[in-house]
Every structure is written in C-alpha cells, then in structure tokens.
Amino acid sequence: MGARQSEIVQTGFGQVEVHRWGAGGRPLVLLHAAAIDPRAYGPFAERLAGAGWQCLSPALHGYGNSHVGRAVSAVEAHVAIARWAVEASGAQVLVGHSMGGLAALLASTALDLDRLVLFEPILFDALDAEADAALIAAESAMAAAMRRHLAEGRPEDAIRVFVEIWNDAPWADLPDPVRARLVARAAEVVADTQATGSAVIGPEIWDAAPPTVLIHGDRSPEIARRMAAGAVRRLSRGTVVSLSGIGHMGPLNSVSQVAEVTLSALRSPL
C-alpha cells in the first residue's frame, strides 16, 4: 500500500496538481467532489491501492494548484483535467464522486475506458422534469441562496447552505479547521454548483458511456438517489448498487463499505 505522492504538472491547457497512491498496479483515475480535494480521499485511495490498483487523483479546476485556462465553465475545465489524467496515466477506469462523477461521465465519451464507477454523480439531466420537479426547484433555490450570500460578502453562509444539504453532518458539528477550509473555497463551490446544475448530458453521452456502476447510499439526499436511478435507466450499460446506512460523503465517511463495493465493481466481468 503506497503512501501518497504529489506533484504539479504543466500541461498544454494549464497546470494540474496530481496525487498518487500505490505503484506498479493497474492505474485508475479518481475524481473528487466539490468543496474537497484529493487529499481527503487518502483512506479510500489507500484501500484501492492495497488491492493492487495505482490510484491517480487530480485536483479539479480551482482546487489546489490546478487551473485550466480559457474554460467556458467549471465543468468543462474539470472534464479537461479528467481526460488529461486518463491519457497521461494510461488508465482505463474512472472513479468519480458527486461532481467528479459528472466529470467522469462527460469525459468518458472521448476516452478508451473499460468502465466507470460513480458514487452519487450529480446528473441533473438524469432527473424527470415532472416527477422530480420539487427536488429540482429545491436545488435551484439552494444554488440561488449560495450566489446571493457570496455576492453580499457572506462566504460562510454560502458554504453552510451547501453543506447542510449535501454533507453527512450539520455545519455546526464540523471541526473549526474543516469549516475554515470550506469557507475558503466558497467561490469555487458556488461556481461548481452553478455549472453542474446546467451541464447537458445528451443521448450520445448516455449511449456511448462504457459499462457503468452507480453507487448511492440510502441516507443521501433524495435528489442524489433519484439521479442514480434516472441515470441507470438512460445508460445503455448501467447498473446501480444501494448501500445501507451511508450518506453522500460515503467515500470519505464510510470508507470500508464504499471501497468494498468499488473494488467489486472493478473486478466484475465487463
């Protein structure tokens, strides 16, 4: 089980901060969620590395020292980093969490991948405009509140609104250093929330995606579970796995269970 190594790589489109766990095994790329960075996935990545995988996790655009120049949106920049990471490492597997799951799916159509493993990807186009209207409206209201708080100079309120819905613990229960790091990223999280909410996933993406395993927890926000259910109906080769007692931050807070299911998905026949 290799210790984490990191470096900053200059690319043709900007620079990428890259973290690696394991050495010599089959490579995979792990894409993180909004508001956090690859270092938070250390225990999860170590489990994958301990099973023989070489885990490469790039910081997405705006996180750490990663920056993509001239990107139209944050999602487009995240996708550029995802594609670069796969091509640079020779990986044939993308593992994505939340926003990273969206980037993985969008990136997959331009890559030669064996499979995707996505934990609660943020896929608004997987929702039903009528059946999920109330959930979509609530998420839009959250995004609007975040933008308003940030514009009025209240970054803590902006990130608190996000955490209270998507995190597995109330804002008040988070340690002070964690809250400070999240507040420092408020602008990036607001941009990510807006970009993920408007990301378009056309039929050509659903149809061309490689075999995909979608994982969700039964304690996650209802909208995340509905996204997973909608995605598996639209994907030409998709399956869904539900985990008991796990919330949206499962890869960080329920490492053993999520790693076990992820490894099972990686071992399963295509």
Within a 10 A sphere around the Cβ of 180, how many other Cβ atoms?
Answer: 11
Rounded Cα distance between 17 and 11, Å, is: 11
pLDDT band at 24 (very low <50, low <70, confident <90, very high): confident
Joined together, the tokens standing for residue 267 give: 């071992």
Residue with tokens 């039964």: 218
21 has pLDDT over 80: yes
Q: Which tens digits make up the pLDDT trace of 59-103? A: 999 999 999 998 889 999 999 999 999 999 999 999 999 999 999
Question: What residue ranges do the domains of the chain occupy?
Answer: 5-128+200-267, 133-195
For residues 41 and 71, the model is more confident at 41
Map tokens 């901060």 to a residue: 17
Given a cut of 70, is residue 269 above it in pLDDT? no
Q: Rounded to two decimals, what is the model's pTM?
A: 0.96
Q: Calculate the alpha carbon distances from 137 to 129, 159, 180 in Å.
A: 10, 19, 29
Q: What fold, for 5-128+200-267?
A: Rossmann fold (3.40.50)
pLDDT at 174 over 90: yes
In tens, the pLDDT along 176-230 reads 999 999 999 999 999 999 999 999 999 999 999 999 999 999 999 999 999 999 9
- Count CA within 13 A, CB hemisphere, residue 174: 19
In order of 139, 182, 227, 248, the CA distances from 164 in angstroms are 12, 12, 19, 12
Per-residue pLDDT band at 270 (split at 50, 70, 90): low
92 Cβ contact list (under 8 Å, min separation 6): 26, 86, 112, 113, 114, 115
